[in-house]
Amino acid sequence: MADVQKKQVPLRLSPKLYDAIASWAEDDFRSINGQIEYLLTECVKQRKKNGKYVSDTIDETIELDI
């Protein structure tokens, strides 16, 4: 298999979202970058499966009560 180079993307996250992802990553024994990549991959798979976004309200601001 060919050596695939990953793209680097700057990403801004709120402190609450970062902390939630960091905690989840720890639970899953992944790095934070690995967890973000996993989550994005799952969302893309879901969209390819049914042609829709995970939520009709995906662009709405969410409140994280963490």
Contact 36, 21 (CB under 8 A): yes
- Does this model's pTM top 0.95? My answer is no
Summarised one tens digit per residue, pLDDT across range 17-33 is: 999 999 999 998 999 99
Distance CA 46, CA 43 (A): 5
Q: How confident is the prediction for the chain on average, in pLDDT?
A: 83
pLDDT at 47: 79
Distance CA 38, CA 56 (A): 21
* CA 25 to each of CA 35, 57, 65: distance values in angstroms, whole numbers, following the listed order: 5, 25, 18
Per-domain residue ranges for the chain? Answer: 15-50
